[in-house]
Structure 1
Amino acid sequence: MGYHSPTFCLLLCSHFVSVLCSSPSPTHLCSPNQSAALLQFKTHFSINQTASKNCEYSNPKAKTTSLKKGIDCCLWDGVSCDNITGEVISLDLSCSCLSSTFPSNTTFFLLSSLQRLDLSFNDFRKSEISSNFGRFPSSTHLDLSYSWFSGLVPYEISYLSNLVSLHLSYRPTTDLIGFQAPGPILKLEKFAVNEIVRNLTKVREIYLDGIDMSSIDPNSFVNLSYSLTSLSLFGCHLRGKLPDNIFKLPNIEYLRLDENPKLTGQFPKSNWSSPLVSLSASEASFSGELPQIIWRFKVFNGFGSIVYGKIPSSLTNPAKLSILTLNDNQLEGFLPDNQNAFPNLALLDLSNNLLSGTTPSWLYTIPRLLYLNLGNNQFNGHISEFQNRLLIKIILKDNSFRGPIPSSISKLVDLTSLDLSSNELNGTISLNMFSELQNLKKLDVFDLHSNFIEGDLPKLPPNIRFLSVSNNSLVGTLSGICNMKFIEILDLSYNDFSGIIPQCIGSFSQSLSSLNLKMNKLHGAITRFLLRDVL
């Protein structure tokens, strides 16, 4: 046997101690009763891709297919466990294509250590929300939104006193033309709201969009948690006066009150919450002078209220503002002539007000602007050339703009809607200026009616569905319209077009619903089955 020095033995012992101390503690496997509870829960549902067709955050995925015997449930898709106890603490089955009624009493509710639960964007076929959802005392996050629950929201939700995030929003399905299909309705009653407000003292996010709260006094929200950062009550049928302390909650950042037409109130003149950066109150009955604090927001939607006053000529820190909608109000005066007024605007809608004067140069250079609507005001002067190439919609109708149509419009390749109707635009449409108009492949609406435009009708983009150039002084033939394959409404009336009515109009029969050619100098036959639609 060889001899080892005491120093070597000491180093060897230190090595073994180091190895033992650095070895990770064993991770507990999911307990059998928790696996059984989830496997039993899985059997209640079928997988249907359409159940998660409206998923907003990820592609639908049938996560429950990973729930199989013989595999540690902590490794299942959407499942997270506590590393020490092996208890399931998080279950994310959002967008999982689950379809069936939700069982009101199932072993699923035995997952007593659950902290996070997300069942959003599934189809639970008008099931009621079980009172057993209140049996997760450690729960901090609960999301049951957009999963076709119906009936009363149980007051037992208020037992979840550790909640920091509550999402119960319901949104009906709409078709392509905006028709709202009948669907399940969730309802919150006074007692449940009072208990939620009283007990959820840690909550930071509350999203209750689309839930019927018509029986709730808005004063029920007076004592909302001071921890609240986000509150969304979109389309909740609220009625009565909203207490203005909602705007003054110390940590509120996001507040949405849209589509509550019977909800009244006034925007405070002062003492707003300093963190507030996004406020939407469109189609609600708020009134008062335009709050000057909105210029430091990122988002302000206030259309359809009764807001009056002027946009200040000198703005304080408007650089954050990305969405500003103040249409259908009583604003007056001029737009500020400040070159750096709104550098980050993506959406600007000031339509249906009393604004006047010329449009400032910054309006045409905002680099991120996608949507511009100044319709139905009293603006005058020329429309300048657009420097921004990202614009999707331009609506400047019902003003007093004059001069030529900007040639830069033909460069806006993402443009879907252009409405310059009912102005005083004049000049001749130049074939050179509009030579690239046909390259606007996404253009869907093109409205120039009621101006003083002269010249020939240019060759038009193929995907236009609405075209109106009526009440102008256009001349020449209609050969330019034959490129359009999906036209639904075509109004060329009150011009000076001449020649034969093109036979291509007959190929529009599948989509065309309205054709107006009157007060021109056209001649020729129109396909018989189109006659009932022709003016």
Structure 2
Amino acid sequence: MAVFFSLITATTLFAVLLCNLAECAAECKGSERRSILAFKAGVGDSKGRLQSWLEGTDCCRWPGITCNKTIGVVTSVDLSGHRWRLSGTANMAALLSLSNLEHLDLSWNDFESAVIVPKIGRPTNLAYLDLSNAGFSGKIPAELGNLTRLTTLHLSNIYRLSVTDFEVRGSLQTDNVNWLRSLVALEPLSLDGVDLSRIGKNWDSAVSNLRQLAHLSMAECGLFPLFPAESDSLRNLSAFLRDLDLSGNGNRDFPEQIPAWLQNFTALQMLDLSGCGLSGNVFPFRNLSLRKLNLFSNNLSGDVSFVFCNQPLLSFLSLMENNFGDTIPTNISLPSLTYLDLSGNNFRGSVLESIARLVKLQHLGLGYNNFSGQIPVSLSKLSSLSFLDLGAVKLELLENLTGVQFLVLSNNKLTLNFSPAWNPSFQLQHLGLSGCNIGG
């Protein structure tokens, strides 16, 4: 008898195990299958990624679709164009009828001026929404504010091609962002390229209630004025915000200054204020432990010696195209730095040995300044460099820079000296020598 019961128990456990391996998972509901197929009918699928989406089959087994295995309801639709690259007109309304949806990702596709419909507020369980860089246009509906469980929201319309260039992939706009106030669980919020010009300086009050916000990206949004006069409305963010990107905003005809209250954002690790037409001095960053600081293309001036010291985590520093005119401090202490660009300023004096001690550098830009003297021999130890822009150099000093692909030596005041027999150890994709005095 004991053996009999043991066999029954073993059989039951084996059956449960098979169910846990999805053999007994519930199939998707017919209504949800029809909704997903309605979405499929409006998109182009040149790579055939959706060819298994067929009537009469279990949509819970379709690629890009995830279901609750117990009750067979769709909880996730992940069609990010990094893998799918869909086109056509996205019928969002069909997907938004999936009432148990928690995750929706349509980013990086090529939808033709698709709009975000008001029904976006229907799947109230939605926690993750990414519609970025997919061609969505028109007004952002206020119904987004109904998605109070959202922890991630990406609506960006621009794609960064490089530090200085980007590609526009849509034209979303809104004349108010009050719907943000109710999304109190948001951690990352990306609105790059969304036209926010109509809301002016009121953007800060709209995000002030997002106490868990760690990443805020509002680049190229037409914000002006860019900074609120006081920090009171943003005080709730100061302890948690790690990444802040406000690049490409402001108005160069009415330049603003970097507000001192940013020093209170002690959790900041990334700050991008490039292309904002800012003027005046850079406030001290001593209270911040930054990993990235981008001030490219402004009109900033004054002493920046503190930027080069006591930032052990800083890996990216761009002061490119400003009006800084001092000498580089001798006591540079940036052990983690991989990207340094000081080009397009009025820095003077010599290129110091301290730069040559930044052994992790992969990008070094010093061109279009007023440097003089010889490049230090120790620069040849920067074996990780792949981009090098110098005002002048004795080329033999580059023989150990085997990874260099971009070398710019243009418009300098010194002579380039190299012997006819010199055989460089690197293979360049780009070499700039315009305006040089080439010697031998």
Q: TM-score range by the shorter chain?
A: 0.7 to 0.9
Query: Which residue does the alignment assign to 1:320?
Result: 313
Q: Which has the higher strand share?
A: 1
Match of 2:195 among 198, 209, 212: 212
Distance 2:26 2:91 in 1: 29
Contact 1:211 1:236 in 2 (8 A): yes
Structure-2 residue corresponding to 1:101: 89
Distance (Å, rounded) in 2 between the aligned partners of 1:173 and 1:226: 27
Does structure 1 conserve the Cα–Cα contact (< 8 Å) formed by 2:67 and 2:73? yes
Uncovered stretches (5+) of structure 1, i.e. residues with no partner: 1-8, 50-61, 456-535
Greater mean deviation of Cα atoms: 240-249 or 351-360: 240-249
Is there any run of 5+ residues in structure 2 with no aligned partner, and where? none
Range that drifts further, 133-142 or 222-231: 222-231
Indicate the SS of the match to 2:35: helix
Q: Tell me the equivalent position of 1:275.
A: 267
Q: Pick from 284, 287, 291: which aligns with 1:291?
A: 284
Q: Structure 1 residue 365: deviation in Å? A: 4.0
Is the 8 Å Cα contact of residues 295 and 321 (structure 1) preserved in structure 2? no
Q: Please say if residues 383 and 405 of structure 1, whose CA atoms lie closer than 8 Å, have aligned partners that are also in contact.
A: no
Alignment partner, residue 462 of structure 1 = none
Superposed displacement of residue 353, structure 1: 3.1
Instruction: Please tell me whether the aligned partners of residues 339 and 364 of structure 2 are also in contact (alpha carbons under 8 angstroms).
Output: yes
Contact map agreement 1:92 1:117 (CA 8 A) in 2: yes
Tell me the CA shift for residue 11 of structure 1.
7.0
Q: State the AA in 2 paired with 1:102.
A: A
Question: Is 1:358 matched up with 2:350?
Answer: yes
1:37 aligns with 2:41: no
2:430 maps to what in 1?
444
Residue of structure 1 in register with 2:135 after alignment: 148
1:201 equivalent in alignment to 2:190: no
1:517-528 to 2 correspondence within 5 Å? none
Q: Does 1:408 align with 2:393?
A: no
1:464-503 matches, cutoff 5 A: none
Aligned partners of 1:153, 1:194: CA distance in 2, in Å?
Answer: 11
Question: What is the SS of the residue equivalent to 1:250?
Answer: coil
Give yes or no for the alignment of 1:421 onto 2:411.
yes
Shift of residue 199, structure 1, vs aligned partner: 1.0
Matched-pair contact (CA < 8 Å) for 1:37–1:110 = yes
Q: 1:388 to 1:322 in 2, by over 3 A?
A: same
Pair 1:349 & 2:341 matched: yes
CA distance in structure 2 between the aligned counterparts of 1:147 and 1:357, rounded to whole angstroms: 48
Shift of 1:130: 1.1
Q: Say if 2:220 is the partner of 1:231.
A: no
The 3 A distance-change label for structure 1 pair 410 and 14 is closer
Distance in 2 between the 1:270 and 1:109 partners? 39
Following superposition, the deviation at residue 105 of structure 1 comes to 4.2
Return closer, same or farther for 1:216/1:228 CA change in 2, 3 Å cut-off: same
CA distance in structure 2 between the partners assigned to 1:412 and 1:290 by the alignment: 38
| 1:68 shift after superposition | 2.3
Q: 1:241 to 1:93 in 2, by over 3 A?
A: closer
Give the superposition deviation at 1:415: 2.2
| TM-score (structure 2 length as normaliser) | 0.85
- 1:58-137 equivalence runs, <5 A: 62-95=48-81, 96-103=84-91, 105-106=93-94, 108-137=95-124
Q: Which of residues 243, 252, 259 in structure 1 aligns to 2:241? A: 252
**Deviation of the 1:369 alpha carbon:** 1.6
Quote the RMSD (CA, aligned, Å). 3.1
Structure 2 distance, partners of 1:73, 1:387, is 57
* Count, aligned residues: 419
SS of match in other structure, 1:342: coil
Classify 1:161/1:320 alpha carbon distance in 2 versus 1 (closer, same or farther; 3 Å). Answer: same
8 Å CA contact 2:263–2:285 kept in 1: the answer is no
Letter matched to residue 81 of structure 1: C
CA–CA separation in structure 1 for the residues paired with 2:407 and 2:287: 28
Q: Equivalent residues in 2 for 1:510-521 (5 A)?
A: none
- Find the residue that maps to 2:110 and give its secondary structure: coil
Normalising by structure 1, we get a TM-score of 0.71
1:396 aligns with 2:390: yes
Mapped contact 1:295–1:316 kept (Cα < 8 A) = no
- Mapped to 2, the partners of 1:89 and 1:242 lie a distance apart of 39
User: 2:340, 2:256 → 1: CA distance?
Assistant: 25
**1:371 maps to which of 351, 363, 367:** 363
Moved more, 281-290 or 132-141: 281-290
Identical amino acids, percent of aligned pairs: 26
Please list the CA deviations of residues 138-182 of structure 1 after superposition, one character each: whole Å capped at 9, or x if unmatched: 0000111111111111111111111111111112799xx97978x
Q: Distance in 2 between matches of 1:342 and 1:156?
A: 46
Which amino acid is the alignment partner of residue 333 of structure 1? D
The answer to whether the 8 A contact 2:273-2:295 is kept is yes
Counterparts of 1:154-173 in structure 2, within 5 Å, are 154-171=141-158
Distance in 2, matches of 1:97 and 1:269, equals 43
Q: Deviations over 1:10-48 (max 9, x none)?
A: 576466446646724643221222122212221222223
- What amino acid is the match of 1:145? S
Instruction: For residue 388 of structure 2, give the secondary structure of its aligned residue in structure 1.
Output: strand
Q: Give the direction of change, closer, same or farther, for the CA distance of 1:32–1:270 in structure 2 (3 Å limit).
A: closer
1: CA distance between counterparts of 2:13 and 2:92? 48
- SS of residue in 2 equivalent to 1:310: coil
